[in-house]
Structure 1
Amino acid sequence: MNAELINCLRQELRSRKQDITQDYLSHRHPSRFFEAYGAELDRCLGRLWQEFFINMPICLIATGGYGRQEMYPHSDVDLAIVSTHILSEAEEQQVARFVQTLWDVGLAPAAKIGSIRQLLLSAQEDLTSDTAFLEARFVCGNHKVADDFLAKLNLQRDIATFIDGKLLEKSQRHNKSRGATSQLEPNIKTCPGGLRDLHTMLWLAKAQGLRPHFLTLVHEGILTRPEAGLLMHSHKQLARMRIELHLLAGREEDRLIFDLQSQVAERLGFKDNDSSMKSEQLMKQLYRAIKTVKQLNGILLPMLKGRVFSSLPRIVHDIDEHYYQVGTAIAVRNIKLFQQQPREIFNILRVIQNHPDLDLIAPRTLRAWWLAAQKIDDSFYADVENRLMFISIFRHGTGVTHILRFLNLYGILGRYLKPWGKIVGLLQHDLFHIYPVDDHILMVVRNMRRLALTAHSHELPFASGLMESFPYKTVLYLAALFHDIAKGRGGDHAQLGVDDARTFAKDHFLTNYETDLLCWLVEDHLIMSTTSQKEDISDPEVVNRFCQHVKTRDRLVALYLLTVVDIRGTNPKIWNDWKAGLLENLFQAALKTLSGLGSNQRITISRRQQAAITILDQQGHSEKNQRALWHILGPSYWVRHEKQDIQWHVSQLISRENEPQASIKIDVALKALKVMVFMPNAPKLFAQLCAIFNQQNLDILTARAYVTNHQFILDTFYLLIPDGFDEDEYPDIAAMLQATLGHFILGKYINIPAPRPASRRIRHTQIAPRIQLYEEDSGKQAHVYVLNIITANRRGLLANIAKVLSDFEISLIHAHIMTLDARVEDTFLIKSASLEDTKTQLALKQTLLEVLTT
C-alpha cells in the first residue's frame, strides 16, 4: 500500500476523530461519542481491508470494547482476523502488512489471528479470549466465515462454566483493589462497582442468549425499570469520566490520578466552594455511581446465575413461618412481608446471625427488602422493637461487620442513624486516611471483630488475648462505630461524637456503665496513640499523667484495643511493629501503675541504674570505672533513657568514655536498626546524621539526643529497614551504615540535602503545615520546649528541620517521628534560653514554615 494513501487515511482519521471529540465536548453524551467513533473506525477499517483482501475466505471481526461499540478515545482496537484455514506463509505476511498499516494510520490494534479452529481453541482455553469473542461483531470481509465462526463459538461455550469464571474473576479483581493507590486513585474501569462490573452483568446476560442491554433485562423480568435506569445512569457517569481521562492524558489512562482529578472535575462542571473542593465533589459522584453498581450487583448477578442453574436440584430448608433457606441464601415466603411488617427489615438480619450457614439474601427477597427499607423514618426508629433488634446485632457479634457493611451499601444505616448519613462518602484530605469516613469506620469495626475470632488470633495475639476476656465487647463494637461519626461537621469530632453516642446508648438501652465507657472511648479515642507516639513513655511522669486520665483497667484495655484497630483501619502503610511495640509498652506500664505496681521517678531511676550495674559487674568492670561513667553521663541520663538502651549504652561506653564510636543492633522483629552515635559535640551533628540515614533510605522511627557532661553527643535512633529486603540482607544494610558512620565520627561530614519536591499525592492533596511551640510544664528543666510539627512527608524532611534547629542554636533532647503515609506528625523536645524571646520564637516558626512549604 502506497505511503500517500496511508498518509491520507491517517490525516482523515485524525480530522474525523477531532470533529467527534469536539462534538462530544459540546454535549458530553458518551453514547453519542461511542456511536460516532465506532462508525468512523468501521469505515476506516473497511477502506483498508479492500486494499489487502479481495474475494478471500477471511473476515475482520470487532471484539472486546470495539465489538460492543464502546470505544474510548485512546483504547486499543480489539480485532480478530478469521480464516477458514491455517494461513499460508504468504497470507501471514499479507495479514502482518495489514496490521502494520493499522499502526501507520494511527490506530492501536490488538489483533487475534487464526483459523476458525485455532480461534475456537483459544476461546475454549482462555476465559479472557472467550469474553472478547462474546462481544464479537462482523466488520468486513467474508460474512459467511464470520457467521460460521460466531455460531460455532456460541455452541461450544459452556454457559455455567463461563458464568462461574466471570464471577470468580470479579471477586479476584475486587480483592486486588484494596491498597492505598486503588482507594486514592481509583481505576474507573476495574474498581469495585466500576465499568468492568457493569460489563460483567451484561456478559452473563449475553452468554445466556439475552440482548446485552439493561432495558432488555427489564423485559425479561430480571431488572425493574428503576433499577435499569440507575445502572444506565451510573454507566453514563463512569463512561464520561473515563472519556475525560483519556482526552486529558492523551493516552489510555483509566485511573483517576491526582494529577487529573481537578481537571476532570472542572471539565465536568464542578467548582470549588466553601464546603468542598471540585475534586472532592467529583470523587463523591464517582462514589455514588460505583455504590449503585455494587448495590444492584447483589440482585442482578445471582438472578442471572440462577437462570442457568435453576434446573439443578435445590436444597431447601424451612427456617420459620416467614423464611426458608435455598443453598446458603435466605428467602422470604411472602414478597410483601417487609412492606406489611416493617420490623422484619431488621428481623431478617437477626435470623441470618442465628444461622451461620446463611451468607446472603436471595435476589428477589433482597429487592423487596431494599424497596421497603427505603421508607425507614423517625417512626421506624421510634419503635422499641426495632431498636432492640438493632442493638442485638452488636450484642450477638456474629457477622456484625458483614451486616453493617450490607446496611451501609444499601443506604439503610444512614436512614436509621441520622449522624451516619452525614459521613457516607466523606473524603478525608489529611494525607494518611485512604478511605472515606464510613468505609474507615467499618474497617475499624471489622478489625475489632477479628480480635474476637479464634481464626484470626494469630494476627495480633496480645490484643486477641485481651479481647477474649473483655466482658464488654458490645461497647467495643459501638465505640468503633461512633469514634469518627462526627467527622466533617467542624469542631472537635471526638467531642461532637460523644453526644451521638450518648443518645444512641439511651435509645438502645445500654446500662449506665456501658454508656459511660462508650462515651469516654469516643471522646478520648486518640489519647493513647498521641501519648505513645508523641511523648516519652520511658518517663514515669508521662505514664502517671496518662493513668490519671484513664483511671480504670477496663478503660485501659478498651482504649488499647480501639487504638490498635483504629490505626490498622486507617491506612495499611502506617501500621508497623514499631507502633505496635510503643502501644504495648504504654499499656504494660499503665497497667502496672493502675494495679499499684507502678513506681515514682526516683525508684525508676534506681532500678535502671541497678540494671546497668548488674550487667557491668557481669562483664567484670570495676566500681571505679562505673563511677567515672556515671559522672560523665549525668543524672538526667537515667530519666531520659529506657532500661534496655541503658544496658546497651553502658556496655559500649565503659572505659571508652573519650572515644568516638557508632554502634548498630539489628532488631529483626521490628525490621529496624538500633543505632547509637557517641562523639564530641559540634554544630549540626543531628541534622547531618539525619541526612546520612536519608541517603541510606532508612526512615527514622524515633530519635533521642543527649549531651554528656563532657560534651559528647549520645544519640540513639531506631531506623526502619525499607520493605523488600529479606532478613538475611539486614547485616549487609547494617554494615553499609556502620562504614558510613565510621567515617562520619572521624570528622568526614556531609552536606545536608536541600528540600526535595513533594510526591504527586501531596501536590494535589495539600495540607497546611502546622507548627506548635510551647514550654514544657514539668518543671524539671529550664528553657525546655515542645515543638509539634504536622506537615506533608518527603525525603530529607527531618534533616532539613534539624538544620533549622541547629541554625538557631537549639539543642535537641528527644524526637518522636510519626510517619502516617504521606503525612508526618513529629514532636521534638528542645532546649534553648533564646526561646524566651517572642521574636526568636516567631523567627523560628517562620523559618520552619519556609522549609515545610518548599
Structure 2
Amino acid sequence: MASSLDTFRNTLKDIRQSLRDRFVAGEPANILVRTHSDRIDALLRQVWRQIRHGFSSSEPTRLALIAVGGYGRGELHPGSDIDLLLLGERTDESVRQGIGEFIAMLWDIGLEVGHSVRTLRECETEARADITIATNLMEARLIEGSEVLFDALRECARPDNIWPGRAFFEAKWSEQQARHHKFHDTTNNLEPNVKEGPGGLRDIQMIGWVAKRHFGADTLQDLVEHDFLTESEYQSLIKGQDFLWDVRFALHALAGRREDRLLFDYQRILAEKFGYRDDGRHLAVEHFMKQYYCTIGELSRLNEMLLELFQEAILYPDSAEAIPLGRRFQARNGFLEVVNENIFKHYPFALLELFLILQQHPTLLGVRATTIRLIRDHRYLINDTFRSDIRVRSLFIEILRQPHGITGALRRMHRYGILGAYLPLFEAIIGQMQYDLFHVYTVDEHTLFVIGNLRTFAAIHRQKNEQNEKFALCAKVFAEIPKQELLYIAGLFHDIAKGRGGDHSRLGAADAQEFCLQHDFSRYDAMLVAWLVENHLLLSMTSQRKDIYDPDVINHFAAEVGDRTHLDYLYLLTVADIRGTNPELWNDWKHILLRDLYEATLLALRRGPENSVQQTDRIAETKEEALQILRQEGILKDEGRKDRIEALWQSAGADYFLRYRPNEIAWHTDAITDSQNRTAPIVLVREGRAGLDIFVYMRDRDRLFQTSTTLIDQLNLSIQDARIVTADNGMTFNSYVVLAVSGHTVVHDSTRYDEREIRETLIRQLRHPDEAISPVSRLPRRQLRHFTTDTTILFHDNDANHRTIMEVSTGDRPGLLSQIAATLTRCEIRLHKARIATFGERAEDIFFITDKDNRPLAEPIRECLRMKIIEELA
C-alpha cells in the first residue's frame, strides 16, 4: 500500500507540474481545465480499483464513483475541490469502511475532496429538498463503477422529475440575486470574485443550468440551435468564459490553493503575466483590470438578457394580449416591447424613447428580452448623425427631467450599451479603475452611484422623511435648486475626463459646457454645470484641509463660490460624490464638516462682502452664546464661579473662542471652574456631533500631544481632528474628535468603547506625561502592503493667524499620527491644530504649527523638520 501511495503522489505531482509548465508556456486554461479533469479521472480510477477489491460484501455493480459540480462538467482548475458522489444500492458497514479508505487515500496523496455517500433514494430526497444538490446532480458524470446505478440516478434525480420548471427557474433566480447582493450588486468591486461575483463564472453556469433543465441543452452551443442564443452572443460568452478561466487558473497557480478573489496581492503579477504594460496614462494593472471589468460587465448583461428570455419562455409561455403604449411600443405580460422588429431601423430615436416610456409607466416590470436583443443589435445606428438629431437630444434631457426613474433609466441605458454609445466620452471610462484603496468602483460605476445618491436626496424630500438626519439638509437644498437636470449632468461629467491626462476637472468642465450648449441649455446653465465640474472637489478639500471655523477662511470660500445657487448645487454634488466613491468614506465627521461649511458660507453670502463676519464679531457672539448656555444650566448663580469663569476666559485668549463652538466652551468651562484640583489634568469624554469628543485641560509641557495621540491610538481610536490652544497662564486646551479605527462612530462600531475607561486611561498616563509609552503595534490592513506611497511634505504660511501650515502626504499605517507628533516634539515645534484625512492607502494630514516662540517656521527649520519626518516615516 505504501508503494502505491508514493506512486499516486508522484503521479499527482507530475500532473500539477505539467499543467503549470503548459500554462506558463501560454497554453490556454480552456484546454488545461479539461486536461486536468481527464488526468484526475484516470488517477481516481487507479485508486478506486485498488481500494475496490476490499469491498468484500458488495457486488461490482452496486457502487458507482461519480463526479459532480464543476468536476462533473469536466472543468477542473488547479485548486478546485474534487467533488464526488459515491452512490450505492445500499451502504452497509463494509461499503462505508471501504469508501472511507478510498477518501482517506485521496487526501493522503494530496487531493482536496468534497464527497457524499448516498443511495438512490437519498439522492432523490436530497435533490427535492435542495436546489443546489439538484443542480449538482444535473452535472453528474460517471468515472468508474456501475453504469446501471448511474443511469438510474440520472432518471430518478432528473430535475424535470423533481423540480417543476417554474419552481426550478425561480429558485435559481433567487439564488443568483442573493449571491449578487453579497457583492453589493455591482460587477466593479476592488477585489472581485472571479467565480461568484456578478458577471463571473457562476453567471455563465447559471445560463447553462437553466438551459439544461428546460431545453435539455448540454452545451451553450445547443442554445444557438434552439434559437435562444445568437452566434455572436455565443462567441461573447465563450470569449468571456475563456478569459475568466485564464484568470482563475492563474490565481490558483499563484496562490498554490483555491483562490477565486482577484486580490491586490495578485493583480500586478497577473497584469504582467498577461502581457499588459504601463503607459503614460495608466498602469499595466489598470489596463488588465479594465479588461476584466469590461468582460464581466458584458457577461452580466448577457446573463440578464438570456435569463429574461428564459423567464418569458418559462413563466409566460402563452403570449398575452399586447397593450399599446404609443405608436412604437407596447406592453406584454408587464414588459415593454417594440411593436415590430424594424422599429429601431425606421425610427432610430426610439433607442432613447424606450427609456422615457419606461419612466412614464412605472408599473412596467422591464424590457422584453427580444427587445433588449434588438437594442443591442441596433447600437450601430448611434453615430454623429444620431447624436445631432434634435429629437434624440430632447429625449435624453427629458429622461433627466422626469420625476421618477432617472437612476434606473441611466443604469439600464448603461447595461444595454446605449449610454456609452450616445456619450463616447462616457464609453472611454467604462471599466476604468484607479489602482488604489480610495476609489473602490470603476469610474463609470462611481458616476452612476453619484446619480443614485442625488436621486436619494430627492426621494427623502418627496417622502418628507425628516428622520433621515444625515441627509435632511441635502433633501431641503435639493428641493430649492431651480433645475435638477443640471445637477445630474454635472454628476455625469464630473469624472468623465479621468485617464485622459491633465486636470480631469478642467477637461471635464469643457466637455460638460459643450454638451449643455449642444442640448439647448442657456449659456448661464452651461457655465454653471461647467463650474460645478471644474470645482467638484472644492467643497470637500476646503472642509478637510482648512480651518472652516475661521471667519477669514469662510469669507474667502464664499467669494470663490459667489452665490447661493452655486453653493447649493456644489454641496449636493459633493455629498453625492463622497458617498459614491467609497462606502467607508462617508461618516458623521465628514457630514458635520460639510454641513458646517455650507451653513457658514450661506450666512456669509447673505451678509455680503461688505458685512462679512470679522473675528471680533465672531468672538463676541460665541462668548454670549456660551454664557447663555451656562446661565440656562444655573452655573452663573454662583458668584465665585462667575469670577473663575471670567478669569479662565481672560487667560484663554481670542484663539480659543474662534476655534470652539459655544456648547463646547460651556462644557469645558463648567468642568474647569468646578474642579477643586487646579493642577491635575481634567479629561472630558462625551459623544459629540461627529464622533467621540475628548477634551484635555492641563499645564502645557513637552510631549503632551505625542502622549495623547499615542494613548488614543492604543485605545483603537482614530483621531480626525485635533485643536490645541495654549492659554496665557500656561494651561492648554487640547481637543480631539475621534472615531473607531474602522472609521465608524464609536456608538455604531462593533467594538465596545467605555467612555469612563477612556477617560481614566488618559488621566492615569497624563499625570506622568514624561514616562515613555510603547507605540501602537497593530498590523496594517492586508491591502496596504501592496501600495507604496512616497512621503511628501509641503509648507505654506497662514499669514492671518501667523502660523505655518504643514501638509503631510504619506502611506497610511497604524500609529502614524504618533510618529509625526514625536518628531514635532523632538524639533520643538508647537502644534495648534491638526486635520487628519485618510484616502484609502494614503494619509493626507494638515498641521497648523509654529516654533517654540509661537512664530511661523523659518526656512531652515522647515527643511530640518521635513527631513526628520521623512526619516521617521521611512
TM-score category by the smaller chain?
Answer: over 0.9
CA contact (8 A) 2:187 2:197 kept: no
1:358 to partner: Cα distance: 2.1
1: CA distance between counterparts of 2:823 and 2:515? 49
Q: What residue is the counterpart of 2:56 in the other structure?
A: none
Q: Deviations over 1:466-512 (max 9, x none)?
A: 22333221111111111111222222222221111110110111133
1:59 to partner: Cα distance: 0.7
Q: Where do residues 137-148 of structure 1 align in structure 2 (5 Å cutoff)?
A: 137-148=141-152
1:395 to partner: Cα distance: 1.3
1:407 to partner: Cα distance: 2.4
Q: Deviations over 1:58-87 (max 9, x none)?
A: 2111100100011110111011111123x2
1:377 to partner: Cα distance: 1.3
1:726 to partner: Cα distance: 5.7
1: CA distance between counterparts of 2:702 and 2:162? 79
Q: Deviations over 1:516-538 (max 9, x none)?
A: 32122112221211222222222
2: CA distance between counterparts of 1:469 and 1:837? 49
Of the candidates 52, 57, 70, which is equivalent to residue 75 of structure 2? 70
Q: What residue is the counterpart of 2:591 in the other structure?
A: 580
1:238 to partner: Cα distance: 0.2
- 1:511 equivalenced with 2:551 (yes/no): no
- 1:230 equivalenced with 2:249 (yes/no): no
1:836 to partner: Cα distance: 4.6
2: CA distance between counterparts of 1:291 and 1:200? 16
- SS of residue in 2 equivalent to 1:302: helix
Q: What residue is the counterpart of 2:730 in the other structure?
A: 711
Q: What residue is the counterpart of 1:775 in the other structure?
A: 797
- SS of residue in 2 equivalent to 1:575: coil
Q: What residue is the counterpart of 1:149 in the other structure?
A: 153
Q: Deviations over 1:570-610 (max 9, x none)?
A: 10111111211121122222222222396332121112222
Q: What residue is the counterpart of 1:301 in the other structure?
A: 307
1:313 to partner: Cα distance: 6.2
CA contact (8 A) 2:710 2:776 kept: no
**CA 1:181–1:169 in 2, change beyond 3 Å: closer, same or farther?**
closer
- SS of residue in 1 equivalent to 2:482: coil
Q: What residue is the counterpart of 1:92 in the other structure?
A: 96
Q: What residue is the counterpart of 1:793 in the other structure?
A: 812
Amino acid at match of 1:659: T
Please report the TM-score for the alignment, with normalisation by the length of structure 1.
0.95
Of the candidates 362, 368, 380, which is equivalent to residue 368 of structure 2? 362
- 1:665 equivalenced with 2:676 (yes/no): no
Amino acid at match of 2:128: Q
Q: What residue is the counterpart of 1:105 in the other structure?
A: 109
1:183 to partner: Cα distance: 1.3
- SS of residue in 2 equivalent to 1:481: helix
- 1:485 equivalenced with 2:493 (yes/no): no
- SS of residue in 2 equivalent to 1:432: coil
Amino acid at match of 1:83: G
- 354-363 vs 237-246, which moves further: 354-363
**CA 1:455–1:791 in 2, change beyond 3 Å: closer, same or farther?**
farther
2: CA distance between counterparts of 1:332 and 1:24? 47
Q: What residue is the counterpart of 1:14 in the other structure?
A: 13
- SS of residue in 2 equivalent to 1:188: coil
CA contact (8 A) 2:188 2:441 kept: no
- 697-706 vs 823-832, which moves further: 823-832
- 1:55 equivalenced with 2:60 (yes/no): yes
**CA 1:160–1:614 in 2, change beyond 3 Å: closer, same or farther?**
closer
- 1:736 equivalenced with 2:757 (yes/no): yes
2: CA distance between counterparts of 1:411 and 1:808? 59
CA contact (8 A) 1:28 1:240 kept: no
Q: Where do residues 411-810 of structure 1 align in structure 2 (5 Å cutoff)?
A: 411-453=417-459, 454=462, 457=465, 459=468, 460-596=471-607, 599-616=613-630, 618-619=634-635, 620-622=638-640, 623-654=642-673, 656=675, 658-667=678-687, 670=690, 672-721=691-740, 733-748=754-769, 749-751=771-773, 753=775, 758-778=780-800, 780-781=801-802, 784-810=803-829
2: CA distance between counterparts of 1:456 and 1:422? 39
Of the candidates 219, 230, 240, which is equivalent to residue 225 of structure 2? 219
Q: What residue is the counterpart of 1:830 in the other structure?
A: 849
**CA 1:335–1:91 in 2, change beyond 3 Å: closer, same or farther?**
same
CA contact (8 A) 1:182 1:191 kept: no
2: CA distance between counterparts of 1:180 and 1:328? 26
Aligned residue pairs total 847
Amino acid at match of 1:743: R
2: CA distance between counterparts of 1:16 and 1:163? 38
CA contact (8 A) 2:372 2:416 kept: no
1: CA distance between counterparts of 2:454 and 2:487? 7
**Runs of 4+ deviating beyond 6 Å:** 179-182, 727-731, 754-757
**CA 1:522–1:16 in 2, change beyond 3 Å: closer, same or farther?**
closer
Q: Where do residues 102-501 of structure 1 align in structure 2 (5 Å cutoff)?
A: 102-154=106-158, 155-178=161-184, 183-312=189-318, 314=320, 316-453=322-459, 454=462, 457=465, 459=468, 460-501=471-512
1:757 to partner: Cα distance: 6.5
Amino acid at match of 2:565: D
**Seq. identity, %:** 32
**CA 1:609–1:734 in 2, change beyond 3 Å: closer, same or farther?**
same
CA contact (8 A) 1:180 1:572 kept: no
1:807 to partner: Cα distance: 1.8
**CA 1:231–1:665 in 2, change beyond 3 Å: closer, same or farther?**
same
**CA 1:633–1:752 in 2, change beyond 3 Å: closer, same or farther?**
farther
Q: Deviations over 1:408-447 (max 9, x none)?
A: 2333323222322222222123431111111111110010
- SS of residue in 2 equivalent to 1:471: coil
Q: What residue is the counterpart of 1:28 in the other structure?
A: 27
Q: Deviations over 1:611-665 (max 9, x none)?
A: 3334455312434323321232123322222222211111122265842323233
Q: What residue is the counterpart of 2:865 in the other structure?
A: 844
2: CA distance between counterparts of 1:209 and 1:350? 35
1:727 to partner: Cα distance: 6.9
1:681 to partner: Cα distance: 1.8
**CA 1:31–1:488 in 2, change beyond 3 Å: closer, same or farther?**
closer
Please report the TM-score for the alignment, with normalisation by the length of structure 2.
0.93
- 329-338 vs 756-765, which moves further: 756-765
CA contact (8 A) 1:24 1:30 kept: yes
2: CA distance between counterparts of 1:690 and 1:719? 10
CA contact (8 A) 1:6 1:101 kept: yes
CA contact (8 A) 1:785 1:830 kept: yes
Q: Deviations over 1:136-165 (max 9, x none)?
A: 111111110010011111122322211111
- 18-27 vs 722-731, which moves further: 722-731
2: CA distance between counterparts of 1:549 and 1:686? 35
Amino acid at match of 1:71: L
1:733 to partner: Cα distance: 2.1
**CA 1:190–1:5 in 2, change beyond 3 Å: closer, same or farther?**
same
- 806-815 vs 250-259, which moves further: 806-815
Amino acid at match of 1:610: E
**CA 1:354–1:424 in 2, change beyond 3 Å: closer, same or farther?**
same
CA contact (8 A) 1:450 1:456 kept: no
CA contact (8 A) 2:281 2:499 kept: no
- 272-281 vs 74-83, which moves further: 272-281
1:361 to partner: Cα distance: 1.6
Q: Deviations over 1:777-821 (max 9, x none)?
A: 32x43xx11112233221101111112222221111111112334
1:56 to partner: Cα distance: 4.1
CA contact (8 A) 2:702 2:825 kept: yes
**CA 1:136–1:728 in 2, change beyond 3 Å: closer, same or farther?**
closer
1:830 to partner: Cα distance: 0.9
Amino acid at match of 1:494: S
- 541-550 vs 187-196, which moves further: 541-550
